[in-house]
Each structure stands twice: as C-alpha cells, then as structure tokens.
Structure 1
Amino acid sequence: MKIAFVGKGGSGKTTLSSLFVRHLAARSVPVTAVDADINQHFGVALGLSEEAAAAVPPLGGHLPFLKDHLRGDNPRIQSAATMIKTTPPGEGSRLLRLGEDNPVFDACARTVPLDGTGGGTARLLVTGPFTADDLGVACYHSKTGAVELLLNHLVDGRDEYVVVDMTAGSDSFASGMFTRFDMTFLVAEPTRKGVSVYRQYRDYARGYGIGLRVIGNKVQCPDDLAFLREQVGDDLLVSFGHSDWVRALERGAPRPFSGLEPAARRALGTVHEAADVSYERRDWVRYTQQMVHFHLKNAAGWGNERTGVDLAAQVDPGFVLGEPAGAGWGRQPV
C-alpha cells in the first residue's frame, strides 16, 4: 500500500508522516519510509542523527544503477540510458517487492530502529539532497524521478506500507507521481495559506481517482477546527494539536512512542483506518493506464528529444502491473 503525505512547507507533514511510520511499526506492520522532499528531514524525524541520515545512500545518486536493474531483459527498452522517470515496466522488466531482497534495497535502503516500538523498525529510502553541484545545472525532479521509477516497478500488497514524504506544495504535479498512491494525506494548518494548498491539490487531482483526505495540524482551539471544517468540508479526516512528545522529539530528546498523548494516538489510528480502506479501491489496470499516460506525455514533451529515441515504443500494450492470480504481474488488455 502506497501512502503520500503532502502539504505546504512548515505544515508539519514530515513530522506527521514520521508519526504514522512509528504507529505502523509499533503494530508490526512492515513499513518503508521514502524521503522525496527537497529538504531531506525524514530520517532525522525517524530518530537518526544528522550524520546517520546524511549517510543513507541516495536513490538519485544511484539512478543509472536503478535504471539498469529495473530494465532487466525488457526488449522494448534499448538501454538504461533511454529510460526516463516515467518509463513503465513491461515483459522482461525487473519488478520490486517489499518483502523480498533485491539489489536496489541492498544498495540504497537502510533499516531504522524506532525507539520504543517494541523492536519495530522501518526501511528508509531517500532521494538525496540538492547539492552544490546541482545548482544551476539540474532540477530536483531529476532526483525524485528515481522514486517515481521505483514506484512504477513496485508490486505491493495491502498489509505492507510505503509512506512517502513528498515535496512541499503542489510541486509533485510536475510529474505523474501523484497518481502512484492509494491515499494522499494533505497536512493543513488552520490558515488561508494552509487550505490553499489543499484546494490546489484537490483541483489538480480531480479526474484521476486520487484518494485525498486532510489532516489538520497545529489546531489549538475550537475556532481553528471550525475554520478547517468550513474550508475543507468532508475531506477533513482528523486533527492534531500541541504535543509535548513531538516537541521533545524535535528538540532531539525522543521519548518512547508509548508516551505519545492518547489523543494523538487515536488520531493516528483514524489515519491508519482510512489508509487501510483505501486499498479496496486499488485498480491495477487504471494504475497502469495512468503510468502509460504520463509516460507518453513526458516522451512527447521532452523525453524523445532528450534521449533521441521514440519513447512511446517502450510501452508494452499487453502488460498490467499487479497481482493477478497471485502471480505478481500479468499480461492483460490495457
């Protein structure tokens, strides 16, 4: 199951996504955390030191390796160099499963012990930071493209989670990655700026079958909650207020997760229930169609010129990513 956390900068999406990862790990749910934000803070929010978080090998820095592995023996892809961020899998491609070892996870993933979760852990993947070498010569989407490729080739199930901390604002709409999730949780503060990102996301996602719920954050009084309800309506799922436990975490003094305030723990349970129900809407055919749709748009917009080949030829028209008959993927009419 793939879950995204989005919101404007400073809304608290990284903090809430890290709380959700801890919530899952505390219940022995296998969880992979992915930092796809331009500001790489997910590892620290999960309890790593700044040095340990910076040492996690970046997916963006291993993009040639990632492409070469995922390409596999797919005859429609001439070389790894002709793969772009939207290249879909087809017959012969190597697919990834969360519960199996693979060279990508071996090279880039790190296991993070989550303090106070009864031995719970999370797998952490990061895009990597925007470095001085990138200034003036690269855009951040060249790094998040590694996450999009990974998600395009991932066969995941209901009882395992991928939790992605996304870029701030509506920047994720610069690619098709916003369609890769079973549920998107938008973290909104009770301010006009906070809900404006929600409206943008809602309007852009309309027509794509995107599951979207709003999590209110920094809600301090009944007026804050009333404002969110007025602005967001039925999309408001739950809200979080002040937390001494979170403040201690942000000061670098984490406490056992069992000490999180009961109201916050109940709210995380509500988020978990909403995420779990969203998997019932998973449609592998539509998922694959959307993947192909955005690949063809990117191919025509810039990919063909960049690579010098017709990237539309990479599409395998009979391939559907998914788990038909327990096989993991299959060839069905798209």
Structure 2
Amino acid sequence: MRIAFVGKGGSGKTTLSAVFIRELARLGRPVVAVDADINQHLGAALGLTGRQLDDLAPMSAVLPEIKEYLRGDNPRIASAEQMIKTTPPGSGSRLIRFAERSPLDEWCALDLRGELSGVRLMVTGAFAEQDLGVSCYHAKVGAAELYLNHLVDGPGEYVVLDMTAGADAFASGLFTRFDVTFLVVEPTRKSVSVYRQYVEYAAEYGIAVRVLGNKVVDAEDEAFLRAEIGEALVGWMGDSRYIRALDRGQAQPFEAFEPAGRELLGRMLAEVDASVRDPARMTSLAHLFHAKNALAWANRAAGADVTLQIDPEFAAPAR
C-alpha cells in the first residue's frame, strides 16, 4: 500500500508521517519510508542523527544507476539517459519487489533499528547550492517516481512518502501513484485554501483525498474543520507532549504517545487497509503523465520521442 502525506508547509505533515511510520513499525508491518520533500526532515523526525543522515546517499545522487538498473533489457528504452521521471516499466524492465532486496537497498536505503525495526528509509536529497537558478526540485523527486512506477507491492506492505508542500506535488505524475493520500490541514483559512486547491486538482484525475486535522486546540477548531472539510475529515491531532518532544529532537518511547493520537493512527491505518487499488487505472494514469511530460519537455531533452517508451501490452505482476 502506498501512502502520501501532503499539505501546506508547516502544517505538520512530516511529523504525522513519522508517527504513522512508527505505528506501522510497532505493529510489525514492513515499511519503506521516503522523504520526498524539499525540506528533508523526515529522518530527523524518525530520530536519526545528523551523522546517520549524512551517511545515507540520496536517491538523486545515484539516479543514473537507478535508471540503468530499472531499464534492464527493455527494447523501448535506448539508453538510461533517455529515461525520465515518468518512464513506465515495460517488457524487459527490471521491477523492484517490495519483499526482496535490490541494488537500491545498497545504494540509497538505510535499515532502521530499535522501535523502527522493519523500516527502510530513503531520501530524495536536499536542494543543493549548485541547483540554485538552474534546476527545480522535481528533478530530484523523479527518482522516487521511477521507484514507485517499477515497484511491485501488495497488501501488508507499506510505502510512505512525505511529499513536497502544497500544490507543488502536482508538478509531475507522482501524486497519482498512491493508494491513499492524507492531506494535513490546520484550522486556519490559509490551510483550508490549500486543501481546496489540492482537492480540485486531484479530483480531475479521480484521486481521493483524506484529511487529517492538526494543531487543533479546542472545540472551535474542531467545529471549523468539520464545517470546512466534511466527510473527508478522518480525524485530528490535538495537543501532544509526545509530538512536542519529538519536534525538539527529544526521543521518547512510542508508548508515551497519547491515547487520542493512537486512536487517530488506528483510523488512518483502517483507511489505508480498506483501500482497493485499480492497477489498470494506475497504469493508465502513468502512461498519461508520461505522454504529457514527453510533449512538454522530455522529447526535446532526450532528442527522441519518449512516448514510444510506453508498452501498451505490459502489465506488472500482482503480489
């Protein structure tokens, strides 16, 4: 199951991503956690030290190797250089099976320990000084999109992405790669405005959005979110000493998380486990966005018609 956390910058999506990952780990569920935000804070929210994160190679740093591996013997892809972020798998492509090790585990993944045993962390990489003025962040996020396009996962296997803020998530087809999208909303007009914009864009492609309220302090905040969001509101996070300590970098055992927060996590997991994937529709959207990117810029960049990379007869094996 693939889960995205999105929302306005500062809404708390990284924190909620981290506690949801911790809940999955507590339950013994295998997780791949991916930090795909321009502000790379998921690792810190999971309690990793700066040295640990410095030793973790970002996906964007090994993107050529990832492309060459995924290309495999696909005759529709002349070279790894012609692969773009939306390139879908086809006959001859190498697929990544969730439960099996792949070269990506050696190149750009970190197996976590302790309370987070069973979690693998990957990061797309921070926006570097050499990128300023010459590149956009979505070039780095492209590694995560290629990963999801070539991933074979199934029930009981969880991939959790902490995404870029606001409508930036729509700069590629990545937003269509998920079974559940959780949008974090604060009880403010500005945050609700981001929610409405996101839902409007997502609805165009049939993407359902579940909403998590955050930083809710009283009944007025609750009433505001209920009135503005309606049935899409899964629940909300109120004041939490555990989360405040987490945000300060003060590690506490997960059992210290308050019962109200645990109840919200239970509702979130129920939403995820109840979702049903439509593989044909997901493939159709992948092909649609690959063609859109090809016509917008990729054909010029690659010097070839990359729409020919679409293999209409290919269907990824199900788990």
Which residue is equivalent to 2:316? 321
Which residue is equivalent to 1:332? none
State TM-score, norm by structure 1: 0.94
Which residue is equivalent to 1:331? none
Cα 1:140/1:270, change in 2 over 3 Å: same
Q: How many residues align?
A: 319
Offset, 1:131: 0.7
SS of aligned partner of 2:183: strand
1:255 to 252, 266, 273: 252
Residues 61-105 of structure 1 deviation map (CA, whole Å, 9 limit, x = unaligned): 111001000000000000000000011100000000111011112
1:312 to 294, 307, 315: 307
Aligned residue runs from structure 1 range 9-48, under 5 A: 9-48=9-48
The CA distance in 1 between the partners of 2:75 and 2:211, in whole Å, is 43
Which residue is equivalent to 1:298? 293
The residue type equivalent to 1:111 in the other structure is D
Which residue is equivalent to 1:87? 87
The CA distance in 1 between the partners of 2:270 and 2:54, in whole Å, is 33
Which residue is equivalent to 1:170? 167
Aligned residue runs from structure 1 range 1-334, under 5 A: 1-114=1-114, 117=115, 120-278=117-275, 280=276, 282-323=277-318
The residue type equivalent to 1:286 in the other structure is R
The CA distance in 2 between the partners of 1:130 and 1:55, in whole Å, is 17
The CA distance in 1 between the partners of 2:266 and 2:214, in whole Å, is 16
State TM-score, norm by structure 2: 0.98
The CA distance in 1 between the partners of 2:110 and 2:95, in whole Å, is 20
Poorly superposed stretches of 4+, deviation over 6 Å: none
Residues 166-215 of structure 1 deviation map (CA, whole Å, 9 limit, x = unaligned): 00011010100000000000000000011111101110011322131000
| Structure 1, unaligned runs of 5 or more | 327-334
Q: Residue 220 of structure 1 contacts residue 242 of structure 1 at CA under 8 Å; is this kept in 2?
A: yes
The residue type equivalent to 2:269 in the other structure is H
Offset, 1:138: 1.1
SS of aligned partner of 1:185: strand
The residue type equivalent to 1:139 in the other structure is C
The CA distance in 1 between the partners of 2:184 and 2:142, in whole Å, is 23
Q: Residue 13 of structure 1 contacts residue 165 of structure 1 at CA under 8 Å; is this kept in 2?
A: yes
Offset, 1:322: 4.1
CA-atom RMSD in angstroms: 1.0
Q: Residue 46 of structure 1 contacts residue 112 of structure 1 at CA under 8 Å; is this kept in 2?
A: no
Q: Residue 288 of structure 1 contacts residue 321 of structure 1 at CA under 8 Å; is this kept in 2?
A: no
Identity of aligned residues (%): 56
The CA distance in 2 between the partners of 1:121 and 1:90, in whole Å, is 30
Offset, 1:271: 0.5
The CA distance in 1 between the partners of 2:204 and 2:9, in whole Å, is 26
Q: Residue 111 of structure 2 contacts residue 117 of structure 2 at CA under 8 Å; is this kept in 1?
A: no
Q: Residue 69 of structure 1 contacts residue 94 of structure 1 at CA under 8 Å; is this kept in 2?
A: yes
